Structure 1
Amino acid sequence: MRAGELAAPYPTVDLSTPVIDAARLMAAENLPGLIVVDGDRPVTILPGTQVLQLAVPGYCQDDPALARVIDERSADLFVRNLGDRTVAEALPQEHRDLPVLEPDATVLEIAAVMARSRSPLVAIAEHNGPLLGVITLDALLERVLA
């Protein structure tokens, strides 16, 4: 089976999308991250952990024990720290390279790229072309374990 046959539609966001909307999309669809596009071309991945890094106060990241002193009601509202920030602001300074493969890639190529990049998502696109679909780790494992 080739990548083009395994690829499926997948939600995307662009750099100007409010990060709170991206977080809501991840939660609603139970996604580990989103593909960030520029027009119709895949650019990078916005991992859910990066959204958390932007939302969780720095002092709690530096010392998680400090999070315990915040009352439960206030702690439940930490995502409000996202405010009006955009996906562009949520991405690390050096964007995470998005694993992109062409539609004729084999299942082993997909697995190798996922393993090397430690990404649960691989975008499928022709060279510098529009996003054709995405292969998730779940879909890959389902295929190879069938």
Structure 2
Amino acid sequence: MTLKRILGTLALLLTPALAFAHPGHGDNGLMAGISHPIGGLDHLLAMVAVGLWAAQQQGAARWALPCTFVGTMLIGGVLGFAGLNLPALESGIAASVLALGLAVALAVRPPLSLAVAATALFALFHGVAHGLELPDMSSPWTYAAGFVAA
């Protein structure tokens, strides 16, 4: 095996650790809510993928997918504020990034109901993660406004 392949393999093995990267939450409220999805590569990739996937669709799906993602993410955030933790939360987030990336790469155009259901499921995982990571001394509602705005 060449050095290039060894280094490439090591890089791929280390890549999943990026999904757990949620840089500091030194900000409170609105700014913490904005910085969480932007600073967490897993959340950023999912948001971009939903937008790209929606752009590949026709008709109502162009708006339905992003609106579903944001709305369900907010519901998930409220559930996270209440302490709900989904099983395999980080794995679900990683799977959502992979599935959305594949949907974009393959330009998948499922029926609207299936696309909305998949988007909602993925957004629920992201929202619960946001809610569970509410910084101390932050208002849940200003934090939620921040991650919804992001």
TM-score when normalising by structure 1: 0.30
Structure with more relative contact order (C-alpha pairs < 8 Å, separation 6 or more): 2
Q: Which has the larger radius of gyration?
A: 1
* Structure richer in helix, relative to its length: 2
TM-score (ref. length: structure 2) = 0.29
Normalized per residue, the structure richer in strand is 1
